[in-house]
Amino acid sequence: MHFAELPPILPDEMLACRTVLPLKPENVMLEGRLIWLAPLDVERDAATLYSLTNGRPIRLGERHHDAYDADMLVWRYMFAGPFATLDEFASYLANLVAAPNGLAMTVFDQVSKQPVGVACYLNNSPSDLKIELGSISYSPIVQRTGANTEATYLMLRHAFDLGYRRLEWKCNALNERSRRAALRMGFQFEGIQEAHMIVKGRNRDTAWFRILDHEWGEVRQRLEGLMAGY
């Protein structure tokens, strides 16, 4: 019987990272030109985030957005939402913060200094040096402004600097906007996992994307080029 040859043992420095990285990622602030990210604080952030994602007209500094369908523009493919009350929304945020293997981050707009979105490290697996970006939501007031591109860049850069070798992005396979965003930012499509979850009482097939550590240099240049256009 023929057995395939095993791959070589990984470098000692890489293997050592597995014993250093915590299951719950450490708090960090990530500074960008358009936005910055800080660990989500429900008491500080919930009311403003709710007001910017519940479908009501938005005014943020000189920017304005008319009333909109919150389900369509923000919550349709998320695990929860839209939310009827601030308390329901705050409970959702508190669950993100409490994740034992994740770090929820609030995205702040540099001009207004207001919270405008949420992006999280999820499903952290230090033993495999992999982590996921997910539970990402933005107010329509900053969608298509480069906020998500910059936040993703900052989170990817931080994770690869820590020693991770695989960054994952997963979304509902029906979420064409998220799938296009992943490809535009340099993630590689790996396939669709059918009947992966039941979300809001409905089947969810999940599209999987990833960036590996040896791909990061090229992806970094791609993202920096995209950000230069904003």
Domain 12-164 carries which CATH code?
Answer: 3.40.630.30
Residue pair 140/58 in contact by the 8 Å Cβ criterion = yes
Q: What are the Cα distances from residue 160, in Å, to 69, 116, 136, 192?
A: 36, 25, 19, 25
Q: Tell me how far apart the 2 most distant CA atoms of the chain are, in Å.
A: 71
The residue extents of the domains of the chain are: 12-164
Tell me what pLDDT residue 61 has. 87
Residue pair 194/171 in contact by the 8 Å Cβ criterion = no
Provide φ and ψ at 49, rounded to 5°.
Answer: -60, -40
pLDDT in tens, the chain (230 residues): 788 899 999 999 999 999 999 999 999 999 999 999 999 999 999 999 999 999 999 999 889 999 999 999 999 999 999 999 999 999 999 999 999 999 999 999 999 999 999 999 999 999 999 999 999 999 999 999 999 999 999 999 999 999 999 999 999 999 999 999 999 999 999 999 999 999 999 999 999 999 999 999 999 999 999 999 88
Residue pair 49/118 in contact by the 8 Å Cβ criterion = yes
Residue pair 132/170 in contact by the 8 Å Cβ criterion = yes
Distance CA 82, CA 53 (A): 8
DSSP assigned state of 5: P
b/e burial code for range 186-214 (CB count within 10 A of at least 16 → b) = bbeeeeeeeebeeeeeeebebbbbbbeee
Tokens of 107: 């995205």
Nearest CA-CA partner of 198 in 116, 79, 68, 60 = 79
Distance CA 170, CA 180 (A): 12
| Predicted structure pTM score | 0.97
